[in-house]
Amino acid sequence: MKIQIEQMNKEREELMKKHEVEKERMKMMMKEERQKQEKEKKSREEELMKKHEEEKERMKMMMEEERQKQEKEKKRREEELMKNHEQEKERMKMMMEEERQNQEKEKKRAELMKKHEEKERMKIMVEEERQKQENERKKREEEFKERENQNKIQMKRKQEEWEKQKQDEEKGREENKQISDKHIQKPQSEMEGIIKEKERKERERQKQLEDSENRLEEEKMRDDQQTSFKEKLKLLEKQHEEERAEWRREYDREKEKMMRKIQSETDDSLQVAAYRKLETKYSEWSWSLHNAMMEIENKLHNQIENEAIQEVEETDLDRELKTTSEEVEKSMSEFFEKDTDKYLLIQWKTLFKTKIKKLQENIVREAKRKLNEVLQHHDINRKIDAQRTHHKNTLYEKCKVADKDKTNDKKTVKKFFYSVWEQSMEEITRDTSAIIEIDIMRDVRKTLSDIYESAPVDQWEDSRDIFNVKTYSHYVWLKRNYRRSDLLQFTMEWFGYILSKADEAQIRSFVSDVAHQTDRMIQSFNITKMGYNISLIQQLIYYINTRETEHEEGAVKYVFKDEFFIDLVYSICKRANKMITDQHRLFREDNDPEIYLKKKREEYYSIFHNYCHGAKPAAIFAEIICQKLKEPIEQSVYKKTARDLADEMKTDCESLSGNRSKLEKHILKTLAKKEDFDKYMNYIEHPRDHFKSFIRDEVSRYIRDKFRVRVLPKMKENIKLLQQKIMNAAHQSTEHVQVNSGDVGLWLKSFTQQLSDQLIFSEKDLSGVKHDDVDDFRLLEDVIRQELPAVMSDISSRFNTDTFPVKLDYKFRPDELLIDHFCQCCWVQCPFCGVICTNTRENHDGDHSAPFHRVIGLNGQFCAGTKNLSINICTSAVASDQSFNPTASTKSVPWRDYRRAGGVYADWSITPDLPELPYWKWFVCRFQKDLEKYYSKTFEKKGNIPAEWRNYTKQDAVKSLQ
């Protein structure tokens, strides 16, 4: 058995060895197989990679061949297109030249026909006049013959009468002789006297007859000469008219020479210095009136909100402004009478007195308009104010009537208050809907979709900024009576020749004015008080549409495409988006109960806590008044500080301390310093927008840099003055009630009336708050005196550079106050160079003018028939023999007679004696490449820049602005 077991163990060991051997063999085989597979895999991968590389290389070669083929095809097509383009351009030029020549021929033919017709008409008129004179002559001859016959008859009758009288006298003499013979006693001398008297009468009759004959002869001679005399008279009158016209021209020339002589007798630098001094004083006078009216507006605005007044008349504003107006008049008189240059200044005295008078009328008229808008909005807004006051006062009452038994300790008081608060908030928010956030551009898209139902809204997302387009040609169609043949029209549209530079300037001015007026409309909406809804966007779009229609119906040769209206609406609304959103945010913070009541929770808790600890009704009512005063005080301080800042900057800030001309010089200096071409073009094409942006930047920088040293002290000073005024009002109200034995109603009426000029705070702000049980007026006054400093401190703690702009409505911000002062003037641009008129009044009488003009190439003007930008300067060009084309299709006009071009050209006064600024010559040289790229034209050939211009440095340019 043992042997068998050993044998079995031995067999098992042998089997194990065989198994191990077999296992090793299998491992070797598997390893070999794996290596073989890996080798094959590697080989296949290498083969595949090789094929892939070959394929990739082949594809690359094919793509390269295809690209080269496409490049060749593209190049061929471009060459062909350029060739066709050049051919088409040449053909178009030839057609336009033929058209121009035909027009010239047609015009000459029409002129010849007109002259011929005029000649024929003159012949007919001369013949008619000759016949008329002939008839008149015949008539006069007949009348003369008739008068001659009558005279002959009369002479014959007189002769007969004379003969008869002579016979009677002879007979009388015979009778006298007989009588004398009979009465010989009468003296002989009496007889002789009678005879002499008769002879004298006879001589007189003879003389009268001769005079009558002479007069008849002279009258006949005059009648014969009258016909030729009238003809001579007409010639003399015509000659006289020509002489009068020549005398008038001679008078104008002599007057101009005399003025130049007078000016030459005085040093030009003295004249300029005196006028600049006068302009500076005018700026001070105008700002005094503006600043005084801002204070008056604020006072009357507060009274309107407090329902102290129901209407505003110009007489009221004139009366309020009277003191400042008299001070300005006195200052003007003293300046013109006592200044060292008074003999030079006297020539402008009447002009500037008239300007101040008209300015004051405009200020009063504009203030009345603004305040009447406030009155209208106040009536509409009364319901909103009442609802907000009701919500606040409901919470006050619930805090006062809480069960005192449940409020023993501080934690319990707070817990109970919060439960009452949450319950009350739930009730209020359940009855009122929350004011949601707004999306202006969504409403714009919706409104436009209603107008253009077929146009896809998605396309409008990519609408262009219409304020920055280079040309408006792609926005217009020519009117039917201005269109040419289809081919010529297509060619003109293809090359962008639809609009002249005058047309472009006209449209740019139209766009700028519409944007300005819509800004004013948005401010008049009073969104901070009334809130926003889509109807405001609808009003804006309707106004823009109306203005566009009026413009098209005017004296223009084009109509706008739909794309123009859409892009104009989008561009204006995008610019106004932030303004509307900010104003709606202020409205939401003041009128959404969930927002404004949440901010007041701790104030309500303070009142609740005091009431629960047995505070007297007078003390609680005083605390409520102090809490109610917090927002009006804050607004009053911000508004007053904004006005003070505007006044300070008008004096201390160098760029804003003068008039608009001085401001413009600072703008040009800033542009030269930054050398930003895009900003330059914004200034050239949209000057009003650039001025506004510059003023906003200046004010923002001033507030940011000088907040600690200038702004914050002013705010603290204003809040201190208000605190003193409120305490005085409380004291005087207490005295008034005690003297008149009044109640709390009389005290509150006296208190609010004394503050109505300074704060928007009235009895209606406390409507719903029960105060019938208040009878301790000394306690009421003392608590207000104790609580008010804490309220003022809380307000002061929030003063910083971030809150200053956002706490104010746009129209009350210092930058807007200064914009209103500087930008209420003429913004019409020169049709040649684009410089703005310097008149200080919009829609002024008389011509537009500017002291300095600039290179007209900056405005895109180019030499006719070329692609060369012009280097002419208006003041030099009007003294030259050159001509210009008002439009691409009109006859050239001599620069000397530029007004003959009509339209906008006739409204400008450009005189050749005005100086030229090196500034713009330096600008042309500095930004030559940018201008050429911007207008796709060059300064070459006729527009070649003079070599001496390149000698001007930036320092020379800036110095020329002094």
**How does pLDDT run across 364-406, given as a tens digit for each residue?**
888 888 888 777 766 655 555 555 555 555 655 555 555 454 4
| C-alpha R_g of the chain | 49
Q: Identify the weakest region by mean pLDDT among 558-567, 681-690, 710-719.
A: 558-567
Dihedral over alpha carbons 71, 76, 82, 84 (to 10 degrees): -150
Residue 83 clears pLDDT 80, i.e. is over it: no
Using CA atoms, how far apart are residues 403 and 612, in angstroms rounded to an integer? 8
Residue 671 in domain: no
Using CA atoms, how far apart are residues 513 and 827, in angstroms rounded to an integer? 9
Residue 162, H or E segment: helix 2-182
Which whole-number Å values give the CA distances from 400 to 10, 397, 419, 609, in the listed order?
A: 110, 5, 14, 9
User: What is the tally of structural domains in the chain?
Assistant: 5
744 and 878 housed in the same domain: no
**pLDDT (tens digit, 9 = 90+) per residue, 630-649?**
889 998 999 999 999 999 99
641 and 777 housed in the same domain: yes
Parent domain of 785 = 616-664+697-817
Residue 358 in domain: yes
Using CA atoms, how far apart are residues 16 and 30, in angstroms rounded to an integer? 20
What pLDDT shows up at residue 860? 85
Using CA atoms, how far apart are residues 696 and 718, in angstroms rounded to an integer? 24
368 and 471 housed in the same domain: no
pTM recorded for the entire structure: 0.63
Using CA atoms, how far apart are residues 364 and 432, in angstroms rounded to an integer? 41
Task: From 419, 262, 272, 442, select the one nearest 341 (Cα to Cα).
Answer: 272
* Phi, psi (deg, nearest 5) at residue 310: -115, -5
Number of CB atoms found within 10 A of residue 66's CB: 10
The residue-averaged pLDDT of 773-787 equals 89
Number of CB atoms found within 10 A of residue 545's CB: 14
817, 842, 865: which is the final residue of a domain?
817
Residue 479 in domain: yes
584 and 620 housed in the same domain: no
**pLDDT (tens digit, 9 = 90+) per residue, 508-537?**
888 888 998 898 888 878 788 778 888 888
Residue 414 in domain: no
Instruction: Identify which has the larger pLDDT, 143 or 808.
Output: 808
Number of CB atoms found within 10 A of residue 386's CB: 13
Residue 451 in domain: yes
**pLDDT (tens digit, 9 = 90+) per residue, 935-962?**
888 988 888 999 899 999 999 999 988 7
Residue 708 clears pLDDT 80, i.e. is over it: yes
Residue 86 in domain: no
Residue 64 clears pLDDT 70, i.e. is over it: yes
775 and 887 housed in the same domain: no
* Phi, psi (deg, nearest 5) at residue 915: -75, 165
* Burial (0-12, 13-18, 19+ Cβ within 10 Å), 269: exposed
Task: From 697, 658, 663, select the one nearest 814 (Cα to Cα).
Answer: 697
241 and 367 housed in the same domain: no
Using CA atoms, how far apart are residues 885 and 901, in angstroms rounded to an integer? 9
Q: Percent helix, strand and coil across the chain, each rounded to 5?
A: 80, 0, 20
643 and 790 housed in the same domain: yes
Residue 327 in domain: yes
558, 591, 624: which is the final residue of a domain?
591
Q: Which two tokens stand for residue 475?
A: 């926005």
641 and 722 housed in the same domain: yes
Q: Which two tokens stand for residue 682?
A: 């914004």
497 and 622 housed in the same domain: no
763, 790, 817: which is the final residue of a domain?
817
Residue 863 clears pLDDT 70, i.e. is over it: yes
Residue 487 clears pLDDT 50, i.e. is over it: no
491 and 556 housed in the same domain: yes
What pLDDT shows up at residue 178? 55
Dihedral over alpha carbons 899, 905, 908, 914 (to 10 degrees): -80
Task: From 419, 700, 651, 383, select the one nearest 530 (Cα to Cα).
Answer: 383
442 and 348 housed in the same domain: no
257 and 298 housed in the same domain: no
Which residues, at least 6 apart from 52, have a Cβ–Cβ distance to it below 8 Å? none
Terminal CA-to-CA distance of the chain, rounded, Å? 134
Residue 80 in domain: no
Average confidence score pLDDT of the chain? 78
Which residues, at least 6 apart from 630, have a Cβ–Cβ distance to it below 8 Å? 603, 791, 794, 795
**pLDDT (tens digit, 9 = 90+) per residue, 15-62?**
788 878 887 888 888 888 888 888 887 887 788 788 777 877 887 787
Using CA atoms, how far apart are residues 403 and 406, in angstroms rounded to an integer? 6
